[in-house]
Structure 1
Amino acid sequence: MSTERIIRTFVEYFEERGHRRTTGSTLLPPSGDPVLFTTSGMHPLTPYLEGRPHPLGRRLVNVQRCLRTTDLEEVGDLTHLTVFEMLGTWSLGDYEGPQSLEWGYELLTEGFGVDPKLLHATVFGGDGQIGVDTPSLEVWRKHGVPVELAVEDNWWNSGPTGPCGPDSEIFLWTGDTPPHSTPTRDDRWVEVWNHVMMRHRRLDDGSLVPLPQRNIDTGMGLERLASLLQGRTSVFECDVFAPWRRLVPGLWALDEASLRLVCDHLRSAMVVIGDGVRPSNTGRGYVLRRLVRRVLTTLWRDDNSRELGSLPDELFRHTADHFRQETDVEGVRDVLREEEQRFRRLLERGRQVLARPRFRGPLDEEDLHYLHDTHGLPRDLVLSLREE
């Protein structure tokens, strides 16, 4: 099942059940939002989860592109990406958790053809404030799906304060043996879908108060789901990465971990640029700059003559088409090329500064602050140069 077919199947299934499709927004949150990038499908819908009527009604479905910097160091493993797409559904004060889980089970097993014997669920086990999520527990028991109770892993927060609630997560077994153990004990259980019963608001003092309405917020990572349905062992082997895995190794000889990082970060950088961000030393621009520099650091580790300008047009077009962006290929390429030249000049200056007698020994915090404030050399760059 191709990624595009997965999207169609998902959206049409929920449209048939009264959900209206919303247009997935860009990676950039509305003006005034303190978050740099949209991190989940629910982010643009926060006002409606808190009670404002949505113009399309109480049942919504969408596909939202997201960016998470919290997972940056994990990119290169089997499941994490920097920019990805989230399949989401919402009930804004309409149906409750059991109905959402019933539909989730039916779509996975009948719509996507997942063997029910390969499923496992986790459910909120209760704490001092909120009891066990018994309704969710009963749904899974009815379908014969094994359930594990957890507390911290099954409580969803939008932040230290704000909307929150218990959730039930659905996992798929990826091992080559019959399923055993539980999701918290065996990482061969891969989370595919999270159903949040968003009923509460956490206040500054840690207490909980009811939201004006009882909502359901579900999210499922598209690339992760595609890799599982396509029988792949990693998100980097699903069909959206096929052009990257076909073309990049012909440009640069990289080990598997480096190939994954380069493909993810370049693809992510293209999407960020396509949404209007440009490299800078602060905010969103710094995230973009960091992505590009991590790519270049990896590429230049073995050969500092490698250049981003040699990337084929197909990768730019494929990325823009997949994320539904109207992007000028040469414009995106120019941004990457300019950042590459800027980084190369910075590296040369950094090597010259670090060759001075003052910096030949161990560096302390005062040295690192001086190098940053006076010479514009970030800590991670300095440490990387010292390892050369």
Structure 2
Amino acid sequence: MSVYIRSITLTKLLAILVVAILCLSAMIFVAYSIHNSFTTVSADVTMGRFNLGGKKKDEIMHYLESISSEFSFEAQDAYIDSETKSLIPHLNGCQLDIDATAEKIVGAKKGESVDPVIHTILPLVTIKDFSHVPIYQGNPIRKQASLVINISWGNEFNDYLQEMLDILKDQGVKGNFFLVGKWAEKYPNLVKQIHQEGHILANHGYSDPYMSKISIEEISIEINKTNDLIKEATGYTPIYFSPPYGEKDTRIFEQSTKDSMVNVLWSLDTIDWQRPGIDAMADRILNNMHNGAIILMHNTEQTPAALKKIIIGIKEKGYEIVDLDTMLSPDYYLQNIKQKISIEDIPN
């Protein structure tokens, strides 16, 4: 009898043990499934053009760690170039946040597009610390060029301006138009057209004076009156200023800075106002191209044909033609870093 009882008890214990093992296994499976659901990327989650669906968090972490040094850039202070005396614009640094990016990817819903988490590192010195010095070019790290077109002549010269606008449109290029206020006042429809076609409107004073010969108060009036006219025509208030005749009087730059303007001159000049000839103008630019070039021109009869040759030549040399907003943006690294994130070498 006692043997029978012991047998029954042992059988029950074994049964309980089996049930316990099964329950534990089920719990482990559920826990693993829950853990896996939080550490495996949902289907069709993308970052840029890459599909990350099905990747494990540790794979994502390993990959992001392997490329982090390629996407970390120190901030660059603005400085005055010792040779050109130009103010070289600052650049923000940036750093990929590996943990936050991985969490964002793993936590994304099916089919969601994810941007990497990148922190901006600010420089200690910016262009605002140099109110008396103009910008002649963009930061030399940029293989870019920007076209500055000063507009002060009307009547038949507006026909040349229209030709230039047509060429810019055909070539897919945006320019920067520095307008004299009196011209803008007389031709508001052209001001609107320039703006509507996506170009930057900028300030070239109101009455085309030699600003070195007028008072600080008059300089401020010249700047603000032109800004008001452009805003009235387009709703846009210019932020870039270039004094007539390229004068370099520090009084002008200090006052324009007080009037919330960024002072811009140029590093390459077509000298089209001298009518040197189309080929001579194009050669003058293309033979001296450099990173961050700011190229000056006007609306003369020779400029449209030269403009086309210059644009084609710049592109053939591998430069990107951008507007001043892009050229002078401190977020050069940030704009490029997102395009470089790749998932190609994560194992399947």
Instruction: Answer yes or no: same fold by TM over 0.5.
Output: no
TM-score normalised by structure 1 residue count: 0.22
- More relative contact order, 1 or 2 (CA 8 Å, 6+ apart): 2
Who wins on radius of gyration, i.e. which is larger?
2
Q: Taking structure 2 as the reference length, what is the TM-score of the superposition?
A: 0.24
